[in-house]
Amino acid sequence: MTDHKLMNAQLEALVAGVPHPVANMANASALIWDSMDELNWAGFYLIEDGKLVLGPFQGKPACIEIPLGSGVCGTAAAGDTTLIVDNVHEFPGHIACDCASNSEIVVPLHKDGRVIGVLDIDSPVFARFTEEDRQGLEEFARILEANI
């Protein structure tokens, strides 16, 4: 089980006062990778010209562009809502970047009240992500978005 309180305190310490969005997202993805068990991908997609574009991440190379409204990431971004998907193979329009992924959580990121991208975390374990993960990672996103 992830110690979200500890991970969020570590994120705060890593990003506070650092005026470099890419560096902060790179460190944030590395922190998640190091702190959460049973992951095969953790990183960011950022909205650029009306679509999601791959940002800093840990894991295997991934799809570069995702249309808003497509897949788990595009659906979470378009609806401005966190999505937990227990079995990605049952999600309509799921985009399989890494065939090892079986479950996923996607948390929108905001700036000035608008969605600017998503935090996407994938697991090879079905139903890996819990309500506790949602709460912890939404807080993680609030800390990060104040520093990107």
The residues that touch ligand SME, with contacts defined as CB under 6 A, are 41, 62-63, 66, 71-73, 94-95, 97, 101, 104, 120, 122
> To the nearest whole angstrom, how small is the minimum distance from the Cβ of residue 137 to ligand SME?
16
Choice between 3 and 48, CB closer to ligand SME: 48
Minimum CB separation of residue 59 from ligand SME in Å reads 7
Sign of CA dihedral 95, 97, 100, 101: negative
- 141, 107 in Cβ contact below 8 A? yes
Considering the complex, state which of residue 30 and residue 62 has its C-beta at the smaller distance from ligand SME: 62
Q: How far apart are CB 56 and ligand SME at their closest, in Å?
A: 12
Q: Say how many residues make up the chain.
A: 148
H/E/C letters for each residue in 14-54?
Answer: HHCCCCCHHHHHHHHHHHHHHHCCCCCEEEEEEEECCEEEE
Q: Which residue is nearest to ligand SME (CB)?
A: 71
Nearer to ligand SME, 10 or 47 (CB): 47
In this structure, the number of other CB atoms found within 10 A of the CB of residue 52 comes to: 27
Q: How far is the CB of 108 from ligand SME (least distance, A)?
A: 12
